Amino acid sequence: MAEAPSNDHIVSCDSEPLILVNSQDECIGHLNKAACHDGAGLLHRAFSLFLFNTDGEVLLQQRVASKRLWPMFWSNSCCSHPRQDESMQEAVSRRVWEELGVQVDMVYLYKFQYHASFQKSGSENELCYVYIGRADAPLNINTHEINDCKWVKLNTLDQLLSENPDTFTPWLKLEWQELNARHSQTITRLIQTGSG
In the chain, helix, strand, coil percent, each to 5? Answer: 25, 35, 40
Could you tell me which of 74, 104, 96 has the C-alpha nearest to residue 172? Answer: 74
Q: Is-contact 103 93, C-beta < 8 A?
A: yes
70, 105 Cβ separation under 8 angstroms: no
Enumerate the active-site residues: 79, 126
Among 128, 141, 125, 155, CA closest to 58: 155
